[in-house]
Amino acid sequence: MSVGKICTRVIATASPHESIRTAAQRMAAYDVGTLVVLEAGRRGQAVGMVTDRDITIRCVAKNLDPDQARVSEVMTTPVQRVDEHTPIGEAVSRMANAGTRRLLVTGDVEGVVGVLSMDDVLGLVVEQTAAIGRLLERQKPLIPA
C-alpha cells in the first residue's frame, strides 16, 4: 500500500512571515496540529512545517512573544518529502532516519497533496491488527463441552 492511500489530504497552511499566534489560531480553527509552511514568492513551494510541538518548544518555552515572533523562527526545515506512490514501509523508514513524525506527500503534477503522519500509519496498523484478530476469532476450534 502506498502513502497516498492513507495520508491526510486536507492541508492547512501558513506563511513563514505570519505571527505564531496567527498560525496557532489557524491550527485551532482547523483542529490540526501541523501547518505546511508555503512561501508565496516561490510558487507556493513548501519551505517548512510548523507543529503544535514546535510552537510549544521553540516559542512558548523560550519566552518568545507569539504576536511578534514569526513562523519562520519556529518551523521545522528542511521539509521531508515523499511521493504519494511510495510504499508505507519505505516512508516509515524515512521518518525514522530523519527523526520526524510527519512527511510532506507530493504528487506527480499537483505538488503537495497531503501530509503523512505517524498517526496515519498507526491507524492502518490498528485496522489491520483488528482484521487479523477477527480472522483468528472465526477460526478458533470448537471444543465440545
- Segment 57-111, tens digit of pLDDT: 999 999 999 999 999 999 999 999 999 999 999 999 999 999 999 999 998 776 7
CATH of domain 3-138: 3.10.580.10
Please state the domain extents for the chain. Answer: 3-138
CA distance 18 to 39: 11
From residue 58, alpha-carbon distances to 65, 70, 94, 112 in Å are 11, 11, 24, 25
